[in-house]
Structure 1
C-alpha cells in the first residue's frame, strides 16, 4: 500500500503533462503506453526540457545499443553503481528493469545489496568491479583494470561502455538525490 500519494516526486517544480513540449509529451506518452505508467524521472527532468532531451539522448545511446554487453548486464551496472551512490530511485527503477531483462526475480536485490555475493558469472563480477571503481575511484583506473576486463573477454570498446554507463548514472544518481526523486510504486512489483 502506498505511503501517501500526495508526497511530491521532486523538490523542484514538476510540469503537468499538458504543459510539456510536444516532443517530450510524445516520448512520455510512448513510455506510458509501454510501461502502463509514467516513471517519475520523466516528469522530474521535464522541469528543464533541453536537459531532458540531452539526458535521454545519452541514456538511449548507452543503454539501447547492441554490443558485447547484454541489456541485462547494462542494467546490472546501473543497479550496482546506483547502490554504491545510494540512489534509491535508480536502484528501485533499474532493479525492476534488471529483473525483467534478466528474467530473474532475485538478481536485482542481490546486485543492489552486494554484487560480489550475487549469483552472477565471473565475467559479470569483473564488469561490476570495473564499473564500481569508475563510480568511486575513477582516478585509480590503470592498465591492470583493463587487463582484468580483457581476461573476461571485454575489449577496449566494452570498457568504454562500462565506464560510460557508470559515469552517466553517477550524474543521474546525483540529480535523483538532489531532486529527492521518488520511485514509482509500480517499480517495486515489476518482474517479481
Structure 2
C-alpha cells in the first residue's frame, strides 16, 4: 500500500526529509528501533514539542519507572482502549508482538475485551489507572490504599500518571489528526469497535 503524505485532515505524515529539525532525533530513533517510522510519530513530528515530549516520556518510563514494561503497556493500552483510540490500541498490541513490552497474548486480550487478568495484581493496576484517568486523579484515600495493598508503591502510582500523560498526548493527537493505522499494525485494529473519526460521545460538543 502506498504511504499517504497527509492524514484525512491534512496533517502532514512526515518523513525524515520533511520533518522540522526538532523532530529529527526522535524520528531517527523510531527508525533505528523499529525499522520504520510509525504514522503516529510521523504525524506528531509536525510539532517537535509534542513528539519530543511523548518520546522522552516513553523512554523515561522504560528506563526509570517502578512499573515493569508489561505493566506500563497494560496501563497505556487500557487508557487507549478507554479513550477509544484505535491507533494506539493496535500499536501497543503490535509492540507486544515485537517484544518491546513482553506482554502475553492473554493480557492484551483482557485489556481489549475488558476481561479480568489471570493475575489480580494487574486488575488492581488497571482499575487504578482508569480511576485516575476518569476522575482526573481524584480518589478516596481507601482507593489509593487498595492500590498499595495490591503490591504497588506510591512511586508506581505516580508512574501511572506519566503513563496516562503519554497516552493523552497520542490519543488526543490521533483523534484531531485522524492518524491512519500503519500496515504493520492493521491486523490488530480490524476487530476493534472504534476508530479515529468524527464521532463524538454523548455530552460532548457536537462535531461539525
Question: TM-score w.r.t. structure 1 length?
Answer: 0.83
Aligned position for 1:32: 31
The count of aligned residue pairs is 185
- Name the counterpart of 1:157: 155
Structure 2 CA distance for partners of 1:60 and 1:182, relative to 1, 3 Å: same
The Cα RMSD (Å) is 2.5
Q: CA separation of 1:14/1:65 partners in 2, compared to 1, >3 Å: closer, same or farther?
A: same
The question of whether the paired residues in 2 share the 8 Å contact of 1:135 and 1:170 is answered with no
1:188, distance to aligned residue in structure 2 (A) = 4.3
Deviation at 1:189, TM superposition (A): 5.5
Give runs of aligned pairs for residues 1-192 of structure 1, distance below 5 A.
6=4, 8-9=6-7, 11=9, 12-22=11-21, 24-61=23-60, 63-99=61-97, 100=99, 101-114=101-114, 117-138=115-136, 140-188=138-186
Give the 3 Å change call, closer, same or farther, for CA 34–67 of structure 1 in structure 2. closer
User: Partners of 2:64 and 2:12 in 1: how far apart?
Assistant: 36
Give the Cα separation in 2 of the matches to 1:64 and 1:51: 19
Give structure 2 stretches of 5+ with no counterpart: 189-208
Give unmatched runs, 5+ long, in structure 1. Answer: none
CA contact (8 A) 1:135 1:167 kept: no
- Give yes or no for contact 1:126–1:149 (8 Å, CA) kept in 2: yes
